[in-house]
Amino acid sequence: MTSSARPHLNRRLAEFGTTIFAEMSALAVATGSINLGQGFPDTDGPQEIREAAVRALREGRGNQYPPGPGIPELRTAIAAHQLRRYGLDCDPDTEVLVTAGATEAIAASLLALVEPGDEVVALEPYYDSYAASIAMAGGTRVPVTLRPHEGSFRLDLDELRAAVTGRTRLLLINTPHNPTGTVLTRAELTAIAELAVERDLLVVTDEVYEHLVFGDAEHVPLASFPGMRERTVTIGSAGKTFSFTGWKVGWVTAVPELVSAVRAVKQFLTYVSAGPFQYAVAEALALPDSYFEEFRRSMLARRDILAKGLTEAGFTVFRPAGTYFITTDIRPLGEKDGFAFCRALPERAGVVAIPNAVFYDDREAGAPFVRFAFCKREEVLREAAERLRAL
Ligand code: PMP
Ligand code: GLN
Residue nearest to atom 3 of ligand 1 (CA): 178
245 Cα: distance to centroid of ligand 1 (angstroms): 9
* Confidence (pLDDT) at 276: 98
Please identify, by atom number, the ligand 1 atom nearest to the C-alpha of residue 237.
Answer: 15
Q: Which residues contact 228 (CB under 8 A, 6 or more apart)?
A: 193, 196, 197, 203, 222
* Confidence (pLDDT) at 2: 44
Please identify, by atom number, the ligand 2 atom nearest to the C-alpha of residue 179.
Answer: 4
* Confidence (pLDDT) at 48: 97
Other C-beta atoms lying within 10 Å of the C-beta of residue 271: 11
Tell me if 174 CB under 6 Å of ligand 2. Answer: no
Identify the residue with better confidence: 391 or 378.
378
* Confidence (pLDDT) at 4: 55
Please identify, by atom number, the ligand 2 atom nearest to the C-alpha of residue 208.
Answer: 1
* Confidence (pLDDT) at 1: 42
CB-based contact 231:263 (threshold 8 Å): no
3-state secondary structure of 103: helix
Is the pLDDT assigned to residue 5 strictly greater than 70?
A: no
38 Cα: distance to centroid of ligand 2 (angstroms): 5
Residue nearest to atom 3 of ligand 2 (CA): 39
Among 2-6, 164-168, 184-188, 226-230, the range scoring the smallest mean pLDDT is 2-6
Tell me if 127 CB under 6 Å of ligand 1. Answer: yes
* Confidence (pLDDT) at 271: 96
pTM (predicted TM-score): 0.96
Average pLDDT of 76-105?
Answer: 98
Which pLDDT tens digit goes with each residue over 19-31? 888 889 999 999 9
CB-based contact 332:312 (threshold 8 Å): no
Which pLDDT tens digit goes with each residue over 170-225? 999 999 999 999 999 999 999 999 999 999 999 999 999 999 999 999 999 999 99
Which pLDDT tens digit goes with each residue over 44-81? 999 999 999 999 999 999 999 999 999 999 999 999 99
1 Cα: distance to centroid of ligand 2 (angstroms): 31
Nearest bound ligand to the CA of residue 248: 1
Radius of gyration of the chain (CA): 20
Please identify, by atom number, the ligand 2 atom nearest to the C-alpha of residue 38.
Answer: 10
**Measured in whole angstroms, how far is the alpha carbon of residue 30 from the centre of its chain?**
26
303 Cα: distance to centroid of ligand 1 (angstroms): 19
21 Cα: distance to centroid of ligand 2 (angstroms): 6
Average pLDDT of 2-14?
Answer: 73
**DSSP-derived pairing of the beta strands 119-124 and 168-174:** parallel
Q: DSSP labels for 152-198?
A: EEE--HHHHHHH--TTEEEEEEESSPTTT-----HHHHHHHHHHHHH
Tell me if 178 CB under 6 Å of ligand 2. Answer: yes
207 Cα: distance to centroid of ligand 1 (angstroms): 9
- What is the band of 18 on the pLDDT scale with cuts at 50, 70, 90? confident
Tell me if 176 CB under 6 Å of ligand 2. Answer: no
Q: Which residues contact 272 (CB under 8 A, 6 or more apart)?
A: 65, 66, 67, 68, 70
Please identify, by atom number, the ligand 1 atom nearest to the C-alpha of residue 238.
Answer: 15
The neighbouring-strand residues paired with 283 are: none
Share of the chain above pLDDT 70, in %: 98
Other C-beta atoms lying within 10 Å of the C-beta of residue 125: 27
Tell me if 180 CB under 6 Å of ligand 1. Answer: no
Please identify, by atom number, the ligand 2 atom nearest to the C-alpha of residue 25.
Answer: 8
Average pLDDT for the chain:
96
Quote the CA–CA distance of 127 and 236 in Å, as a whole number: 14
Please identify, by atom number, the ligand 1 atom nearest to the C-alpha of residue 249.
Answer: 15
* Confidence (pLDDT) at 6: 65
* Confidence (pLDDT) at 3: 47
Pocket probe mutation, ligand 2, options 18, 35, 38, max atoms within 8 Å of Cβ: 38
Share of the chain above pLDDT 90, in %: 93
Which pLDDT tens digit goes with each residue over 256-284? 999 999 999 999 999 999 999 999 999 99
245 Cα: distance to centroid of ligand 2 (angstroms): 9
